[in-house]
Amino acid sequence: YDMRSQAGRDQYDAAVAKALKTNRGGDGIDSATLIGKVGGTKTQLRASLSRLIDSGAATKSGVTRTTRYRAAG
């Protein structure tokens, strides 16, 4: 993913959102598992998740090691 361009960030965000949606019904998914599914760095994933949460497409629960992410809705 070309994270320097808006199109690349949009593609990465879409991949993260898709990974979250495939985990529906569970207790959420941690960041290490997400990186394993979509690639990227921790910083790239954090930025993507922040954008998804701000847009209402994802939710976050827990803190530090217990943080889990889910698709909204």
Contact between 70 and 58 (Cβ < 8 Å): yes
pLDDT 10s digits, 6-52:
999 999 999 999 999 998 767 899 999 999 999 999 999 999 999 99
Phi first, then psi: give them for residue 60, nearest 5 degrees: -130, 140
Contact between 6 and 45 (Cβ < 8 Å): no
Half-sphere exposure at residue 71, Cβ-oriented, CA atoms within 13 angstroms? 15
Q: Which residue has the higher pLDDT, 1 or 31?
A: 31
pLDDT over 80 at 53, yes or no? yes
Question: pTM value?
Answer: 0.91
Distance of CA 12 to the CA centre of its chain: 9
